[in-house]
Amino acid sequence: MIAEVRIELKEGVADPEGRNTQKALELLGFSGVEKVRSIRVFEITLEAASEDARGQLEEMCKRLLANPVIHRYSIQIK
């Protein structure tokens, strides 16, 4: 089974990578870019039934992939 895990910053948390990318795009002449947000995406392949996989993925997010203070995450099983 393959799952996609998206890790993004919570609203109100500064995103310097997104802000720097937006500035670079503007310097390259791309106008009209209102906002850029950085998002990490992990594609994880598991050998587990879907109920077990979701629990494992939740634990992965809580213990390693996301910082609960500044991140939110979503899991999509493909």
3-state secondary structure labels for all residues of 18-42: HHHHHHHHHHCCCCCCCCCCCEEEE
3-state class (DSSP) for residue 65:
helix
Q: pTM of the full predicted structure?
A: 0.84
Q: What is the CATH number of the domain that holds 33?
A: 3.30.1280.10
Total structural domains in the chain? 1
Q: What is the pLDDT of residue 27?
A: 96
- With 90 as the cut, is the pLDDT of residue 70 above it? yes
Q: Domain range for residue 65?
A: 2-77
Which residue, among 51, 40, 41, has the nearest Cα to 1 in the 3D structure? 51
Cα separations in angstroms, 25 against 7, 10, 12, 37: 23, 23, 22, 13
Residue 48 has pLDDT above 90, yes or no: no
